[in-house]
Amino acid sequence: MLIDLQRAMLGACYGDARAFANALPFLRPAAVPVDKALFIHTATVTAALTGVLAQAYPAVERAMGADAFAEAAKRHLRAHPPGPAMLSAYGAGFGADLTGELPVLAAADWAAHLAYFAADAEHVGLDALAAFAPEALASLRLPLVPSSALVAGPLGALAGWCEGRADISFVAAPLPLLGPDAAVLIWRGPDLLVAATLLPSDAGGFVQALGEGADLLTAAGHLSDAGALSPLLALLLGHGLIAAVTDGDPS
């Protein structure tokens, strides 16, 4: 039955030794030994998915080195083979098995990867606030564009990530960074380029709250200095991060 052969070959492709052995009797002997011919497919699958992960996690690969990354990728792809045939969405959990600062780098890499492929969306600029009376500002909601994401972690690791990602457009931090922790805000700008900036942790909390639908007053409650609000709004509205400005409850 074809399905028996396919079950065996599927396992063989993902490194299952028993499945590999089960597939061999289906094969006709030839000049190239059948186990070596079958292994071509195992190697192709490993190389293809390692490449997919390397494309999604360039900072992790650079930090680990190519050989260690390839070993980690092989473990991941064998434990978590792709479901849908949309490889741009493959690898979400790769960082979970990493240690040290690597999970932070992985989270930032994955956020940048998702930002690149995120759904297109309209955005509003600084003039969007002009339509509202000053007394209405506190209750405004500013949902973020779907490409945006925040990753929190040690300032040193996040700053290193920013320096290593030459493919990303970096915006100067709008507020002083005091550490030891921070957040990196990642999004895809109107020019379709992925961009990022570093924020102090409390500013990260502000942006996170906006993204979750909080009104401006509630979100600003995360800030330790009210003076941070103005530069943060300038950043968000000036770089295409806000999808709309509304004065109603999103629910």
Instruction: At 226, give phi and psi (nearest 5°).
Output: -60, -25
- Window 193-232: residues binding another protein (CB under 8 A): none
Does 18 bind another protein (CB under 8 A)? Our answer is no
Does 85 bind another protein (CB under 8 A)? Our answer is yes
Of 9, 4, 6, 3, whose CA–CA distance to 21 is shortest?
9
Does 10 bind another protein (CB under 8 A)? Our answer is yes
Question: How buried is 241 (Cβ within 10 angstroms: 0-12 exposed, 13-18 middle, 19+ buried)?
Answer: buried
Name the 3-class secondary structure at 185: strand
Q: Tell me, what DSSP letter sits at residue 219? A: H
Minimum distance, C-beta of residue 84 to another protein, in the bound complex (Å): 6
Q: Which is nearer to another protein, 188 or 222 (CB)?
A: 188
Taking CB under 8 A as the criterion, the residue among 101, 112, 119, 217 binding another protein is 119
- Window 31-50: residues binding another protein (CB under 8 A): 31-34, 36-38, 40-41, 44-45, 48-49
Measured over the CA atoms of residue 71, residue 74, residue 79 and residue 84, the dihedral's sign is: positive
CB atoms within 10 A of CB 77: 23
Segment contacting another protein by CB under 8 A, of 75-83, 136-144, 161-169, 197-205: 75-83
Taking CB under 8 A as the criterion, the residue among 133, 166, 172, 192 binding another protein is 192
Q: Which residues contact 12 (CB under 8 A, 6 or more apart)?
A: 19, 20, 22, 23, 38, 41, 42
Minimum distance, C-beta of residue 227 to another protein, in the bound complex (Å): 35
Does 6 bind another protein (CB under 8 A)? Our answer is yes
Segment contacting another protein by CB under 8 A, of 26-34, 65-73, 123-131, 235-243: 26-34
How far is it, in rounded angstroms, from Cα 115 to Cα 113? 5
Residues that bind another protein (CB under 8 A): 1-3, 5-7, 9-10, 13-14, 25-28, 30-34, 36-38, 40-41, 44-45, 48-49, 52, 81-88, 116-121, 146-147, 188, 192
